Structure 1
Amino acid sequence: MEQHDKKIVLFPKWKEKIEARAFQALRNKRFEEALENLNTLLDYQVSNQEIDIAKLTCLIELGRQREAELLCEELLTKKDDHYFAYVHIYATLLFQANKYEGVAELIEDVFEDENTIPEPYLSQLTTLRSLNSTLLKQQTDQQLTVTLKQLKEAVEKQDDVMQWHLVNHLNDSDISLYNSIFLEMLKDEEVNPIVKTVIISLLQANTYDELIEIVKFSDKMYINPNDFPYMTDHPFYQKIKKELETLEQDNPSLHALADQLLYRYFFVVYPFINEDMDISLLKEAIIYLVSASFMDEEALNQTKIKESLALYIEDLLYYEKVYFSLMKE
């Protein structure tokens, strides 16, 4: 229904008549009819808590969950005397829809200033908070169990793309359930090295404090994730980044491409960092490759490359291929 000009108001008798029709329809569970009349009132800027709650009731009864949620959010922004009533209704609405994470976010936000919550809302929200916490944990545990099963299947099928999506799905999760399969995947030559890098970062984020074995490209090493530097914090990575900073002022576009190439290279090889590499040659190889994207074939063919530099270029190209073999999916 179109919004009427705010200057136009309903005559009191018409307002009373439409209100009466709306609430009579609501009592008789004719929710579509009630909603139509309530919207007419709202179009004429006739609004109060009773009308807002009535509209919310209609939306819920008609199964229009998303509209009901949006209305709750709109009512919360009013920050009026009925704020905590709206919080309780919204939290209950989300809870009944099994949106436990949304309930937790809403209630925790309100409980940051618990002393301002009046009764009976404090008791009601405290009870809902406790129950929601239990169900949220159950829901999260169920999701993690399903993901674990899917990950095991993806490893068995050597499905790199599915493994990639599943391990990335675990950010901000308690991964203790996955420790065993992660340790096996890190030793498995068939698991994509990029997936292994994500697993290492998950173990680091969860402060896994034991020695682990990692195999990449037939090389093996042992690290403790809890005290091993994150990929982008690694001193060697930082050294090369600093070397590339000289490009930033002269050619920002080239610098951005060089920075991305460096990141992709480390993402593939980490934590196998050969600190004996010649930083100047690695920098030169990176700049050559990103510059090549702006050069025509004739210019490229005329460019002479010394053998030592060619080896670094070859390595970078190989690891680029490994990176995009998964990322292009």
Structure 2
Amino acid sequence: MQQPENVILFPKWRNVLEEESLAALKARRFEEALEKLNKLLSYQVNSYEIISGKLICLIELGRYKEAQEICEDVLQQKDKYYYHYLHIYLTVLFQTNQYDLLMEQVEEEFEKQELPAVLKEQFDQLYEMSSKMKADVVVEHTTAYLDDLEQAIAAKDYQKQWRLIEELRRTKSEPTRNVLALLAADNIHPVIKTAIIVWLQDIEYEETVEIHKWGKNIQLKPQAIGDIHNHALAREILLLISDLEQKNPTLHELLKQLLYHYIYVRFPILPANKEAESIATALKAIGTKYLNIHDRLGKEQQNINDYIEEIEQCETLYSSVIEES
């Protein structure tokens, strides 16, 4: 527990604690050294020697998370020991395989152009090593994910398939021919095909792919079909239901969710923009039914039954694969 700020540590006792902590540190008795250093820190004795000593103890004891938090805290102070702490921080990131964060931090330091020459070469080496290690990890993980994906497809485990594809997308892995072939396969869930297409868009895949979906066969370049979150059809439908945002926010949010799920399942084979009004009406019919709101549609209801059926089918397909919190 930290002592009140007005409690002062007697110089003699402070000197004893500092000497004992240093002796324990040199003798690699890190638990003992950490205990004494924490005692000093509780009395606001927070010199560079004390803090760096504690960081060494934490790293040697494998308590990297605590060391990282302390580094991130002291780096905010930007005092004369900034680069000493920064070097320790980068070491912690490297030891814990946080290569992206390490590389990002080094890039920021290089951009400032204030890095001492003596450190630049060390940071360059850390950056290169991190880049290589990151690439190795991606290759290793990609192989494992692809093997697991093959097994998940054989087992028809759609949720696992989706999670694995999301991991492959997150790591920006390159798709194999077997993965691309899934887009044209009859036995692959439409949600899984959408996930693959989004993955291809994320990595800016430039080749033409063949897709069999929603009863149609098409060939296209993933980069040419636009962002699933910003499709023209979705924008038009959102405009048609925008009046509900003020009138009934709960209904509006539900319709937005239903619309996104519908677009996601069908993507990239979507209805024509001229069907936006009918789809918007169908969404309202489904939403009012889900929320037990009485809304008379009359003849309009009869004209949108096919859309209602399709949207509800897409909702079932989406929720069978993707679990949202």
Question: What TM-score, normalized by structure 2, do the two folds share?
Answer: 0.91
Q: Deviations over 1:12-71 (max 9, x none)?
A: 111111111211222222222211111111111112111111111211222222222222
Paired residue for 1:308?
Answer: 303
Paired residue for 1:186?
Answer: 183
Q: CA RMSD in A?
A: 2.2
Separation of aligned partners in 2, 1:134 and 1:295: 57
- Structure 1 residue runs without a partner (length 5+): none
Separation of aligned partners in 2, 1:174 and 1:7: 54
| 1:159 maps onto 2:157 in alignment | yes
How high is the sequence identity, in percent, across the aligned residues? 34
Q: Deviations over 1:141-175 (max 9, x none)?
A: 21122212222222222221111001111334333
Paired residue for 1:295?
Answer: 292
Alignment equivalent of 2:320, drawn from 302, 313, 325: 325
Supply the AA of the counterpart residue of 2:322: M
Q: How many residues align?
A: 323
SS at match of 1:221: strand
Separation of aligned partners in 2, 1:318 and 1:174: 31
Q: What does residue range 163-312 of structure 1 map to in structure 2 within 5 Å? A: 163-176=161-174, 178-275=175-272, 278-295=275-292, 306-312=301-307
Higher relative contact order (CA 8 A, sep 6+): 2
Is the CA contact 2:244–2:251 (under 8 Å) kept in the aligned structure 1? yes
Q: CA deviation at 1:217?
A: 3.5
- Structure 2 residue runs without a partner (length 5+): none
Separation of aligned partners in 2, 1:96 and 1:238: 46
Supply the AA of the counterpart residue of 2:317: V
Q: CA deviation at 1:206?
A: 2.3
Supply the AA of the counterpart residue of 1:55: K
Supply the AA of the counterpart residue of 1:82: Y
C-alpha change, 1:18 and 1:185, in structure 2 (3 Å) is same
Q: What does residue range 82-93 of structure 1 map to in structure 2 within 5 Å? A: 82-93=81-92
Task: Please say which of residues 19-28 and 258-267 is displaced more in the overlay.
Answer: 19-28
C-alpha change, 1:20 and 1:160, in structure 2 (3 Å) is same
Separation of aligned partners in 2, 1:59 and 1:220: 59
Paired residue for 1:49?
Answer: 48
Separation of aligned partners in 1, 2:109 and 2:151: 42
C-alpha change, 1:78 and 1:191, in structure 2 (3 Å) is same
C-alpha change, 1:304 and 1:207, in structure 2 (3 Å) is same
Separation of aligned partners in 2, 1:174 and 1:320: 28
| 1:141 maps onto 2:136 in alignment | no
Task: Please say which of residues 96-105 and 190-199 is displaced more in the overlay.
Answer: 96-105
Q: CA deviation at 1:328?
A: 4.4
Is the CA contact 1:18–1:41 (under 8 Å) kept in the aligned structure 2? yes
Question: What TM-score, normalized by structure 1, do the two folds share?
Answer: 0.90
Alignment equivalent of 1:120, drawn from 112, 118, 121: 118
Task: Please say which of residues 286-295 and 25-34 is displaced more in the overlay.
Answer: 25-34
Is the CA contact 1:158–1:190 (under 8 Å) kept in the aligned structure 2? no
Separation of aligned partners in 1, 2:274 and 2:177: 34
Task: Please say which of residues 151-160 and 194-203 is displaced more in the overlay.
Answer: 151-160
Supply the AA of the counterpart residue of 1:69: Q
Q: Deviations over 1:79-115 (max 9, x none)?
A: 11111111111212222333323322322222221x2
Separation of aligned partners in 1, 2:273 and 2:176: 32
Q: CA deviation at 1:179?
A: 4.1
Separation of aligned partners in 1, 2:275 and 2:120: 64
Separation of aligned partners in 2, 1:33 and 1:18: 11
Is the CA contact 1:85–1:121 (under 8 Å) kept in the aligned structure 2? no
Is the CA contact 2:162–2:322 (under 8 Å) kept in the aligned structure 1? no
